[in-house]
A and B are shown apart, each in its own frame.
Chain A
Amino acid sequence: MDAIWRRMNLEAIYILWLRDLTRYFRDWVRVILSLFRPTLWLLIFGTGVNNLFQMQKMNSGTDYLHFLFPGIITLNLIFASLYSGISIIWDREFGFLKEILVAPISRTSIALGRTLSGTTVSLIEGFFVFLLAPFIGVKLMASKFIPLAVIMFLIAFTGTALGVLIAVSIPSFEAFGIVANFVVMPMFFLSGAVFPVSSNLPGWLKYLVYLNPLTYGVDTLRSILVGVQVFPIWFNLLILSLFGWLVLFFAVLVFNKKR
């Protein structure tokens, strides 16, 4: 087990990262889509629901658009990171994965390289959402940048690690659709992104929300941006990073075992 981690090779990780980013910036459709998704959610869904809630403000007195904003950042982060993670399956279908697998680098580096590139892409797409902040009146301060970057990194990292784990465990191509429909959306809806995590939720729903690692990410983001929080920050950070590393560890383990 120890050997698996010792065998990672920094240079290889960097090269794999560089390749993924080169590909990303060539794929304009993906870049534009990542701008379009939050626009749709915030401006259409958000504005619509905001209208509904205009009279009765959300539990803490913020308006719904502001409440939703951190949730949409999370949506963009998780979409991008899971997608990057499972794009290992694309590489497998198009054969390039074999070129990487047969090279004199360890599988641990391959998994880490993909996790880091996915995290980077996801962070870029996550920060895109801030372009919409002026339109809905969310105030940004330079001092919030570092805490935001830290928590967004953790969410992105966890999501990508999860994507890599899915990609290395599921042998086929159909996983793409499954992930989009059965992983991203439930994780998003059960994270407190669109409704507040409060004690009035029915029991089953509450537990699902508590089980979802994203919940703790959304909560932290919201506390930084809107000043509302349910759990203590240290707890959120601990859960997210533990979950992220655990998932990555399993992904590396599975990947190393597959031969």
Chain B
Amino acid sequence: MKIIETKNLTKKFTPSLCSKCWRTLQGLFRAPSLKLWSVSDKNKTFLDKGAGFTAVDNISFQVEEGEIFGFLGPNGAGKTTTISMLCTLLKPSSGEAYVNGYNVVSEEAKVRQSIGIIFQDPSLDERLTAWENLKFHSLIYGIRKELIGARAQEVLNLIGLSEWRNEIVRKFSGGMKRRLEIARGLLHYPKVLFLDEPTLGLDPQTRRHIWDYIHELREKKKITIFLTTHYLDEAENCDRIAVIDFGQIIALDTPQGLRKLLPEDAIFLKTVNDEKAKIEIEEKYKVTVNFNNGGIFFSIKNGEEFIPELLKNLSLTVKSVNLKRPTLDDIFLKLTGREIREEKIKKDDWFRGILRSHSRR
């Protein structure tokens, strides 16, 4: 049995009559200065979305039990929408999805019992204490009362927030909130844990900590992990990655497999004489060398191993050398032949962002 399975899963957002009216009303009363935010985007929001917008387009994939499965894609690719459908928060427009063997539409209660989810946006009750948040969660998931104390303590120890248990969540830092959310998602021992950008807004140290923790979870509790991310280097922690754009899966492979698509690293070099260096490198290694603000660069396989060799063999003195591994942008360019989409600031998102930054404080 596959723990997650989707067949031609599709989500098309069609605005209801009510929300259309509401949008128009909002448009009428919007403060003139705010229009600046959406000038370039206005046609899109009003025309495209008016006719419906396909956020997830016919995707099919399967996830094995115990796997760490990643969804990698730019903003607006449809990652959160897919997770929302798998978590029964949104109804698919067409297609099917099964989680832990249950249909996400017809057996939603059973699906919900089997999953834990850490949302992209904060979802703690900031007026309650950490302990109360955990207790609330345990109660609505029907954990037996005599077990709640021990379980809550167990997850608090795991994330290292035991001393904070009786503090109001509003006082927590963003990273602490994130950790608490992860703890909360684990309370009811889910079979599948969904993590929507688990490391969003975290410092590198906490980020690493969370990844260690995710790996540990998989080993200790044998749970399946489904996560989304923007970062290729982060996606490398997964067993398999689906690259998604415009609601479609454009590649699905292991991290090594994806790397093979882009075997070459870029090397940036500054020497005492770049002209000479260019000629020398082109001759020796049969690569095209280009000039780049105050230096030269070229692409080569296995960049890390190449650098020592280059330094040994080059007759000129090297001032600096820099290695750049492929990123999500490069993978995108390779797979789709175009640059990653620009992030657009929509008015609503912008407003939410303000709210969020307030609530994250």
Contact = CB atoms under 8 A, between A and B. Distances in A.
A16 B125 CA distance: 12
Contact of B122 (A11, A94, A104, A171): A94
Contacts of A136: none
B140 interface: yes
B126 A22 contact: no
A103 B132 contact: no
Interface in B71-112: 87-91, 109, 112
Contact of B137 (A11, A99, A173): A99
B359 interface: yes
B89 A96 contact: no
B355 to A, nearest CB: 6
A171 B139 contact: no
A100 B88 CA distance: 12
Contacts of B291: none
B124 interface: yes
Interface stretch (B42-50, B113-121, B239-247): B113-121
Contacts of A98: 89, 119, 121, 123
B127 A101 contact: no
B103 to A, nearest CB: 15
A12 interface: yes
B112 A171 contact: no
A95 B123 contact: yes
B16 to A, nearest CB: 9
Interface string A88-110: 00000111101111111100000
Contacts of A12: 140
A6 interface: no
B125 A104 contact: no
Contacts of A19: 125, 128, 132, 136
Contacts of B128: 19, 22-23
A: interface residue count bin: 20 to 34
Task: Pick the most buried of B90, B140, B352: most chain A CB atoms within 10 A of its CB.
Answer: B140
A255 to B, nearest CB: 13
Contacts, number: 76
Interface stretch (B18-26, B61-69, B205-213): B18-26
Contacts of B201: none
A26 interface: yes
A173 B351 CA distance: 10
A144 interface: no
Interface in B124-163: 124-128, 132, 136-137, 139-142
Contact of A102 (B18, B88, B351): B88
B: interface residue count bin: 35 or more
A100 B139 CA distance: 11
B117 A102 contact: yes
Task: Pick the most buried of A19, A96, A98, A99: most chain B CB atoms within 10 A of its CB.
Answer: A99
Contacts of B355: 93-94
Contacts of A171: 18-19, 22
A172 interface: yes
Nearest to A258: B16
A169 interface: yes
Given A96-B123, A100-B140, A259-B89, A174 B26 contact: yes
Given A98-B119, A103-B140, A23 B125 contact: yes
A15 B139 contact: yes
A27 interface: yes
A170 interface: yes
B22 A104 contact: no
Given A12-B140, A172-B26, A101 B89 contact: yes
A104 B119 contact: no
Nearest to B120: A95
Task: Pick the most buried of B91, B112, B136, B351: most chain A CB atoms within 10 A of its CB.
Answer: B136
Nearest to A96: B125
B239 to A, nearest CB: 25
A27 B127 contact: yes
A47 to B, nearest CB: 37
A94 B357 CA distance: 11
Task: Pick the most buried of B19, B122, B123, B355: most chain A CB atoms within 10 A of its CB.
Answer: B123
Nearest to A105: B140
A201 B137 CA distance: 54
Nearest to A15: B139
A104 B359 contact: no
A16 B115 CA distance: 21
Contacts of A95: 119, 121-124, 359
Interface of B: 18-19, 22, 26, 87-91, 109, 112-113, 115, 117, 119, 121-128, 132, 136-137, 139-142, 184, 351-352, 355, 359
9 contacts: A15-B140, A22-B132, A23-B128, A95-B119, A95-B359, A99-B119, A99-B124, A259-B89, A259-B90
Given A19-B128, A99-B125, 9 more contacts: A26-B127, A93-B352, A94-B359, A95-B122, A96-B125, A100-B140, A101-B89, A103-B137, A171-B18
